[in-house]
Structure 1
Amino acid sequence: MKQTLLSFLVGGMILTSVAFAQEKKISGRVTSADGKAIPGVTVVVQGTNQATQTDTDGNYSLNVPAGKVVVFRSVGFDDKTIIVNNNSTVFNVSLVNHDNALEEVVVTANAIKREKRSLGYSAPTIKSDELTEGRNSSAINSLAGKVAGVNITSTSNSPGSSSQVVLRGGSSIAGNNQALIVVDGTPIDNTSKVGGSSDLSSVDFGNRGNDINPDDIESVTVLKGPAAAALYGSRASNGALIITTKSGKKGAKSAITFSSTNTLSSILKLPEFQNEYGQGYAAFDEKTGAFVDYVNDPRENGSWGAPFTGNVQEWGQAIDGVRQKKAYSAVKDNVRDFFDLGIASDNNLSFSGGSEKSTFYLGLNALNSNGVYPGKKDNYNKYGVRFNGTTEFSDKFSAGVSVNYSRINSNNVGGGQGGGSVYNNLLQTPRDIDVKGLKDLSNPYNAYGYTDANGILHDDVYGYYGAYTMNPYWVLANYNNYNDVNRIMGNFNVNYKPTEWLTFQERVGLDNYTDRRRAQSPKCSYLPAHKSTGNYVTGNVQIDPVIYRNDKFNVNEIVNDFMSTTNHNFNEEWDGSCRF
């Protein structure tokens, strides 16, 4: 009996020692070739689910069976393997930098990262540093000149203006030729609806693709032609821009980044103007067509009159029996002098970081712009908040969220040839009239409605010289095109990884915005102030019916994706993957 019990105890001790020998705790530090700690390195026992990551100082610890192979992996570095033996428990590892690793990874459909060499089509990628080096407030305009075959067209390149991105030329004459925009795997709306009360008027309210803050973008991958259509269907028949936004890094220390960009703008180019002939028109014989004489008509908006002489002469209407005087000579910069110096301020503040199992990125943006038109009538204000975060609940469950909210309010100056077009009225100013002299709207000679020398209000007459155009300063002050946009877009995803080679993902994406527009113009009916000059008649009335127009555009799109992904490494040279 004693011998049997002794044998049992000895056998138990042997089994216990064998059990303890089968698994041991190893630890160490992972550094780069220059000795710097590498956080977020994945340390995995080859062929098992046993894994961990290095902390912010590059340290790790892991229980590993003796004789097993441990693999160290990190983006931008070559993999490193070690064999755990019984002689040591500390393994310090140095990873070799892989210069091409980051450049070879591209983001394709549904925010899936793939090695560039595995793609069967061209997919050029623009990184954040390259995208923002010009400090353009438009993410679309920032792509100009970065990728061959990508044509960017902008109405003015100012904040809030429309931009069009066309890949490899247009495929439709009347249809939409713009590329599809996909943000973090979710397609978003990029509609551009030009406003205006008639076919002659035009108001640029911008396009929704410019709601994205360039400073929140990590990379942009350009998919052209069939490659994009194969991934996203007919919506991407004109190509696609795959945008990946910034995120925190696992094990990285918290970081705060602030940037401020202030931009000054001015008129670059204007039409070429002649400076030999002034206000009026040339008269011709109705029968022979021969030139008769020049007519100096003070009502005229054209410069078809007599050649300049430099002599001082009267011009415009008579107010209280008195007309203004000026030299009959060219004011060469009369159109350019109308515009002011525009200024835009773009401020960005971001917070990012992560722990061993979670990451976060919070970005705040404020863009405030006052354009080149005088005063503060062409202002644009955009405010945005972005949050991206991921977390691992366990070795099998993880989740991520990406959400962006933006708000825009602006007042846009009308264009085209309608009555509310400031630029159209400005261009029709005769070459001998100083535009800056028209700025004071309290001056009866510039005004619509005035008070005479006896204190009597004349609210039904105008003293402005033009019978066929209106004072551009008065149009700028009395015509408004307000725009308010509220937009939220993003996605939420849940991942389940039952085995090392199989992953399931459920993702729901949202793009919702409201675009409200209000057009306001005054109700006016003005007769010429005085008819003693012999040119102004009752028919030279300035009239415009009041306009108060509200337009509201609501867009709401929800997308849902469920994907299963399998990956298997056959050996060091062969691997395979499959997605459904």
Structure 2
Amino acid sequence: MRKVTALLVLLLFAGIQVAFAQRTVTGRVTTSTDGSPLPGVTVLVQGTTTGSLTDADGRYSISVPNNQSVLRFSFVGYTEQAVTVGSQTTINVVLQEALLQMDEVVVTALGITRQAKTLGYSATTVNAVAIAENPNLNVGNALMGKVAGLNVSAPTSGPGGSSKLRIRGQSSFGGYNAPLVVINGVPINNSAESGGFGVDYGDGLQSINPDDIESMTVLKGATAAALYGFRAKDGVIMISTKTGAGSRGLGIEVTSGIVIDKALDFTDFQYVYGQGAKGVRPQSVGDARSSSSICFGEKMDGALVWCFDGKQHPYSPVKDRLGFYETGLTFNNTVAFSGGNENGSFHFSVADNNAKATTPNSKFDKKIIDFGINQKFGKLTLQSNINYSIEYNQNPPTSFQQMGIANTVYTTAVSSDLRWVKDMYEDPVTGNEYTITNMAYRTNPYWAAYKRFDHRTRNRIFGNVLLRYDILPWLYVQGRVGQDYFIADSENNVPTGSAYLSSAPAGQYNGEYSIGKSTFRELNLDFLIGANKKFGQFGIDAQFGGNAMDNLNKAVSTSVRNFYARGLYTIENGVTKTPTQRYSNKKVNSLYGTLSLSYHDYLFLNATARNDWFSTLNPKSNSYLYPSVGASFLFSEALKNMMPSWWNYGKLRISYAEVGGDTNPYESTVYYSLQSNAFDGTYPY
């Protein structure tokens, strides 16, 4: 069997973006039961991140790019509805209450599958098809508006930036507040990788191809995640990738998508008074540079006036202040092969993603290979998933003020156009930055875009191998080994001649350059014994297992300041060299168990316990227990003969849990830090 599907998605998307020929659609969302308004309904333009929420009266307003746009209305407990805009300017929607599928199976902690009705906590399953249809480079951004209580902040740090995820808000004022990400039962590193000058290199979720996701479950609250112990205080996002389950013969699937990215200006500046100070327009090039971000001049009248590029231009409003930015383009392509028979299945895919950012000379590329297999050999089952990715991030945005582009673009006077210096960012005589201002914190954005560089390449492989043996129809034992490993190489500079830099000593040239390599490895070994059996109207589902985790994180880097030869960015050419090395190793051993009791399929009791032993704590007090207990009563099932016909589902649940975090390596002891070239080699006093 050969199956070929092609998907072409054309959308207008951005952290800061705009659509051409947009128009506004308004309307009201009500319930089907009594016609009352529904506040908080998510309204999304399908295939984009453009969205809105209904107010207290159920009303909304949203901008759509064209008549072909599709609005998706979703709210927890109601069936999602999609409406094509067409020529309509008012769209009123009536949402139907969703009937919960009580027999729906969800993936819970440790990869254990349970019926949704048996759970005594909140676990939300996300439609994998909906994630794949929204072509985000980072899977985290595809969760926006899909899970109640999950806050998703899309990055403003370019196409390779990280996604900020928070379940039920912040759990602490400091430290790590993001949920644990578990792929095929094995935790991965999803922390945001940062570099010098406040650069965001992305996180772990960007290493996953949305087309490879089979299912996704969000575990909310301590009770749901307690089995993951110290790392689960902020919830868990469970992801299962494809193994070709249900396939027969050979299938081929081709998916392609295009994303068009535009910068969007939400500002509301005045366009009456132009550049200048004290009510006077610039009288010279020097005046123009000293007031390049000040609009306290005269009323604009179109007369010629001196500007920061050394030329005269009309003293008129320049409303396209984002003209500096370019049109971003992202191409997503995936080719997948799947097949199987009655004894097993496989899935193999290759993905190629290329994203040109809206910032000039900035891009993000990644290639992903994913392989999954599920094979039975009698009572023995083999399951394995392996994911390899190579990611290249070129010149992502920096929050460092002196080299930050957005700062200059945002603060440029309304009568000036940065494109005037597009081809003259470098002084033809000195080779230094062509300045557009006297202020050190406002760089020439074209100088920062084309003379500064920041490159990072990450090679990453993560996966697992699981063996399960069914001792009896109701009793099994399994073992699993999983690893997350990556190496990242980075290189960046501050170009010689940058206006904010101090002059170098005679015979030298100012500037900075650094290279670095970071390595991360986490190895997880676990076992699990499970039993699931019915005794008349009573049911028992129990598991007992253990885990050994070994986390290694190390990095080396060398930076230099000032150079012997101009324009040669190497360590050897640097005058002052500063090497840095970082190393940490943490081990955690764990035992855990879970017990679920049921009666008549409407009364359920769940209990879990996990004990961790940390290498980072004092050996005399390095053990912590994380218990949880929960009960649920499906009264709509127990009292179904007494319930009114319009009442489809009712459940009461109560739970209690304790989770917490550990500490980083070496923080429980006193240690020294070594620093080379301290005080530039001189005595500090």
TM-score of the superposition, structure 1-length normalised? 0.70
Structure 2 residue aligned with 1:578, among 533, 536, 542? 542
TM-score, normalised to structure 2, is 0.59
Gaps of 5+ in 1: 1-98, 284-292, 318-322, 442-446, 451-457, 528-537
AA matched with 2:427? G
1:127 CA drift (Å): 2.3
Q: Supply the AA of the counterpart residue of 2:277.
A: Y
Residues 220-299 of structure 1: matches in 2 within 5 Å? Answer: 220-249=216-245, 252-282=248-278, 296=283, 297-299=287-289
Match of 1:449 in 2: 427
SS at match of 2:335: strand
- Give the aligned CA root-mean-square deviation in angstroms: 2.6
Helix, strand or coil at the partner of 1:551: strand
- Amino acid aligned to 2:324: F
User: How big is the shift at 1:211?
Assistant: 1.6
- Choose the corresponding residue for 1:388, options 368, 372, 386: 372
Corresponding pairs, count? 433
1:344 to 330, 348, 355: 330
Q: 2:532 aligns with which of 558, 562, 567?
A: 567
Mapping of residues 405-424 of structure 1, within 5 Å: 405-424=388-407
Contact 2:288 2:306 in 1 (8 A): no
* Partner Cα distance (1:434, 1:354) in 2: 60
Cα offset for 1:261? 0.6
Counterpart of 2:363 in structure 1: which amino acid? N
SS of 1:329's partner is coil
**SS where residue 423 of structure 2 aligns?**
coil
1:205 is paired with a residue whose SS is strand
Contact 1:460 1:526 (C-alpha < 8 Å) held by counterparts: no
Aligned partners of 2:261, 2:306: CA distance in 1, in Å? Answer: 37
- Greater shift in the superposed pair: 382-391 or 466-475: 466-475
Q: Distance in 1 between matches of 2:119 and 2:486?
A: 35
Supply the distance in 2 between the matched residues of 1:165 and 1:544 (Cα, whole angstroms). 43
Deviation per CA, 1:21-52: give whole Å up to 9, x if none: xxxxxxxxxxxxxxxxxxxxxxxxxxxxxxxx
Shift of 1:386: 0.8
Distance in 2 (alpha carbons) for counterparts of 1:167 and 1:526: 43
SS of 1:151's equivalent? Answer: strand
225-234 or 162-171, which deviates more? 225-234
Following the alignment from structure 1 to structure 2, what is the Cα–Cα distance between the partners of residues 514 and 306? 56
SS of residue matched to 1:132: helix
- C-alpha distance 101-311 of structure 1, shift in aligned 2 (>3 A): closer
Q: Residue 308 of structure 1: which of 271, 292, 300 is its match?
A: 300
Answering whether residue 348 of structure 2 is matched by residue 362 of structure 1, we say yes
| Residues 498, 373 of structure 1: alpha-carbon distance in 2 compared, 3 angstrom cutoff | same
1:115-154 alignment runs, 5 A limit: 115-154=115-154
Q: From the CA coordinates, give the structure whose radius of gyration is larger.
A: 1
- Counterpart in 2 of 1:58? none
Cα distance in structure 2, aligned partners of 1:106 and 1:399: 21
Report the Cα distance in structure 2 between the residues aligned to 1:478 and 1:462, rounded to whole angstroms: 9
Find the counterpart in structure 2 of residue 68 from structure 1.
Answer: none
Match of 2:475 in 1: 502
Q: How far does residue 305 in structure 1 lie from its aligned partner after superposition?
A: 2.5
Amino acid at match of 1:576: I
Q: Is the 8 A contact 1:522 1:544 kept in 2?
A: no
Q: What do the CA deviations read for 1:76-130 (whole angstroms, capped 9, x no partner)?
A: xxxxxxxxxxxxxxxxxxxxxxx98796100112211111122221211012112
CA contact (8 A) 1:228 1:237 kept: no
Letter in 1 for 2:259: T
For 2:331 and 2:432, the matched residues in 1 are separated by 42
Q: Out of 305, 317, 320, which is 1:330 matched to?
A: 317
Tell me which residue corresponds to 2:449. 476
Q: Tell me the distance in 2 between the aligned counterparts of 1:525 and 1:189.
A: 36
- After superposition, the Cα gap between the structure-2 partners of 1:383 and 1:463, relative to the gap in structure 1 and judged at 3 Å, is closer
In 2, Cα distance between the equivalents of 1:177 and 1:488?
25
In the alignment, the residues of structure 2 paired with residue 124 and residue 315 of structure 1 have an alpha-carbon distance, to the nearest angstrom, of 57
* Kept in 1: contact 2:265–2:322 (CA 8 A): no
2:540 maps to amino acid: G
Per-residue CA deviations over 1:401-435 (Å, capped at 9, x if unaligned) read 11101110011333325322122223343322222
Deviation at 1:250, TM superposition (A): 5.4
CA distance in 1, matches of 2:393, 2:433: 30
Counterpart of 1:493?
Answer: 466
Q: Which residue of 2 aligns with 1:28?
A: none
CA offset at residue 552 of structure 1?
A: 2.8
Question: Aligned-pair distance for 1:242?
Answer: 0.8
User: Distance in 1 between the 2:498 and 2:531 partners?
Assistant: 74
Deviations 1:295-337 (A, max 9, x none): 64132222232332322234447xxxxx52222222221x221
1:510-525 correspondence to structure 2 within 5 Å: 510-524=483-497
Name 1:72's counterpart in structure 2.
Answer: none
> Percentage identity across aligned positions?
32
**How many angstroms apart in 2 are the aligned matches of 1:115 and 1:316?**
67
SS, match of residue 134 in structure 2: coil
Query: How far is the alpha carbon of 1:294 from its aligned partner?
Result: 6.4
The 1:522/1:177 distance shift into structure 2, 3 A limit, reads same
- Structure 1 counterpart SS, 2:401: coil
- Partners of 2:541 and 2:436 lie apart in 1 by 76
* Counterpart-to-counterpart distance in 2, 1:409 and 1:216: 20
Q: Is the 8 A contact 1:414 1:420 kept in 2?
A: no
State the shift of 1:460 in Å: 5.8
The 8 Å contact of residues 392 and 398 in structure 1, kept in 2 or not, is answered as yes
Query: For 1:178-237, what per-residue CA distance to the aligned partner results, in whole angstroms no more than 9, with x for missing partners?
Result: 11101010011111133234xxxx322112222221111111111111124421002010
* Mean CA deviation greater in 126-135 or 211-220: 126-135
Letter of the structure 1 residue corresponding to residue 542 of structure 2:
C
1:439 aligned partner, one-letter code: K
> Within the alignment, does 1:184 sit opposite 2:184 as a pair?
yes
Contact 2:443 2:499 in 1 (8 A): no
Q: Secondary structure at the match of 1:299?
A: helix
| 1:356-375 deviation digits (Å, cap 9, x = unpaired) | 2221111211110001123x
